[in-house]
Amino acid sequence: MIAVPAGVRVLVWSSPVDFRKGIDGLSAYVQLTLEADPFAGDLFVFRSRRADRIKVLTYDGTGLCLYQKRLERSRFRWPPVSEGVVRLSAAQMAALIEGLEWSRLHPRVVPRPQVAC
C-alpha cells in the first residue's frame, strides 16, 4: 500500500511504457515526455502494455523511489489510452492500486467556512 500524503499530485500517464525501464529511464521519461520535474515529490504512475502491472515513481526527499505491483488474476482499471496525463486524488490512487474502478470516485467539494465556530 502506498500512502499518498496530502497535497501530493498523482499524475497518471495513460499510454503504456516500456517496463524494462528503471528509475533512471522513467525519470528521464518524466522530464522529456511529460515535461515535469521528477524531483518535485509528485507520484508518476505508469502502466504496462497488458495493464496487469503498474509502476509508481516518486522522490521522497532523499532519493527516487520506484514501486511496482502486478495483479495476478485481473487488470488495473486504467484511463482510456491517449496521449496525456490524468490527475487523480489520493482516494482514486488507492482504488487504482487495488485494481478497483477508480473513475467512480469523485472528490467531494466542501465549501470553505466563512466563520469559525
Query: Tell me, what's the pLDDT at 104?
Result: 64
- Per-residue pLDDT tens, the chain, 117 aa: give them: 566 777 788 888 878 889 999 999 999 999 998 889 999 999 999 988 888 899 999 998 899 999 999 988 888 877 665 667 888 777 777 777 777 766 665 666 777 788 876
State the greatest distance between any 2 C-alpha atoms of the chain, in Å, as a whole number: 55
Q: How far is CA 97 from CA 27, 31, 32, 38, 77, in A?
A: 20, 24, 25, 20, 9
- Note the pLDDT of residue 107: 62
For the chain, which residues make up each domain, given as ranges? 10-104
Q: What is the reported pLDDT for 93?
A: 78
pLDDT for the residue 100: 74
Predicted pLDDT of residue 50: 87
pTM for this structure? 0.78
In what order do the strands lie in the sheet containing 64-70?
64-70, 53-59, 43-47, 10-16, 85-88
pLDDT number for residue 44: 94
Instruction: Count CB-CB contacts under 10 A for residue 78.
Output: 19
pLDDT for position 45: 92
The Cα angle at residue 60 between residues 65 and 88, in degrees rounded to 5? 80
